[in-house]
């Protein structure tokens, strides 16, 4: 498939830039505008956030954007309709990021089938434990070719990281700190942790996120991992619906 994340990792090994945003923010129909504009700026892949009422891992910026998106009327049915409308023109891999309860309410089969239909390249579901995934859902995810992206933190043991690496069919998301997203501590405070996981020489690509705000953070993180995810800083830059495309271009240009 032309927007395959697997193909991306086979062809580009370093300095990957991923952007996270909450679908339905700042306006209900912003989703396709954001994806299309990010495509024009040269972003490598995109994490599409599924707004949820109780996002445990998210800091205040992402929580607020998700809350606004829900008030705007965003839901999974509408999100898949929006992604369907651009599936033939979008060439950037899309990852769905959300919480397991949303997927259960929508229906796991329905979710995976819809992801496959619109060309989604993977899913990040932070509150779905590895053991439950392996026991009950791994076969189903693989049937639809929607790889699970697993998260690790500075507290994750080497043994567990290697377990996740063994079952991973995609990248591993190295959360740079144990706090929520968008904290003020810099990425450089995570040097020891990032260096440690780099030295594990995992088979899966490593992408790091949380607390990456500028080009300096991006360059620092890419010394240890294949790339980064930027969420809170990007969301702060797209508050205005009327200047959305301009703001996206200006934000991403800093990292080129």
CA distances (Å), 162 to each of 152, 193, 225, 242, in order? 11, 15, 16, 46
pLDDT at residue 3, rounded to an integer: 45
Alpha helices in 12-129, H assignment, sequence order: 30-41, 60-72, 76-86, 100-106, 108-118
> What is d(CA 74, CA 67) in angstroms, rounded to the nearest whole number?
10
Closest among 241, 250, 233, 182 to 26, alpha carbons compared: 241
Mean pLDDT, the chain cut into blocks of 10 residues (256 residues total): 77 96 97 97 97 74 93 97 96 95 96 97 96 97 96 96 97 82 67 96 96 93 96 94 95 94
CA 175 to chain centre: 11
The sign of the dihedral angle between the CA atoms of 197, 211, 177, 165 is negative
pLDDT at residue 71, rounded to an integer: 96
Q: Which residues contact 227 (CB under 8 A, 6 or more apart)?
A: 14, 15, 16, 17, 18, 44, 205, 207, 208, 221
> What is d(CA 210, CA 23) in angstroms, rounded to the nearest whole number?
19
Beta-strand ranges (E) seen in the chain are 16-22, 45-49, 94-97, 122-124, 148-152, 172-175, 206-209, 227-230
pLDDT at residue 2, rounded to an integer: 47
> What is d(CA 26, CA 44) in angstroms, rounded to the nearest whole number?
22
For β-strands 227-230 and 172-175, DSSP reports them as: unpaired
Q: Encode 41-51: b = buried (16+ Cβ within 10 Å), e = exposed.
A: bebbbbbbbbb
pLDDT at residue 57, rounded to an integer: 59
Whether 74 contacts 24, CB under 8 Å = yes
pTM of the model: 0.94
Closest among 112, 155, 148 to 128, alpha carbons compared: 148
Hey, which residues does 67 pair with through a beta bridge? Answer: none
Q: Give the catalytic positions in this structure.
A: 47, 58
Domains in the chain with CATH codes: 16-253 (3.20.20.70)
């Amino acid at each position: 498939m032309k927007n395959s994340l697997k193909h991306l990792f086979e062809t580009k090994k370093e300095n990957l830039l991923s952007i996270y945003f909450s679908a339905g923010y700042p306006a209900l129909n912003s989703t396709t505008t954001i994806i299309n504009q990010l495509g024009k700026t040269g972003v490598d892949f995109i994490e599409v956030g599924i707004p949820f009422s109780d996002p445990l891992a998210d800091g205040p910026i992402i929580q607020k954007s998700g809350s606004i998106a829900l008030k705007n009327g965003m839901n999974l049915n509408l999100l898949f309709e929006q992604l369907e409308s651009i599936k033939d023109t979008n060439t950037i891999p899309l990852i769905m990021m959300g919480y397991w309860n949303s997927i259960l309410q929508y229906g796991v089969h329905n979710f995976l089938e819809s992801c496959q239909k619109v060309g989604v390249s993977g899913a990040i579901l932070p509150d779905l434990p590895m053991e439950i995934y392996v026991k009950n859902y791994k076969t189903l995810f693989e049937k639809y070719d929607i790889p699970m992206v697993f998260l690790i933190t500075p507290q994750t043991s080497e043994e567990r990281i290697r377990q996740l690496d063994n079952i991973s069919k995609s990248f591993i998301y190295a959360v740079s700190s144990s706090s929520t997203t968008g904290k003020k501590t810099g990425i450089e405070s995570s040097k020891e942790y990032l260096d440690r996981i780099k030295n594990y020489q995992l088979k899966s690509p490593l992408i790091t996120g949380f607390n990456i705000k500028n080009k300096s953070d991006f360059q620092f993180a890419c010394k240890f991992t294949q790339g980064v995810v930027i969420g809170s800083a990007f969301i702060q830059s797209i508050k205005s619906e009327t200047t959305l495309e301009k703001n996206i271009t200006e934000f991403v240009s800093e990292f080129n």
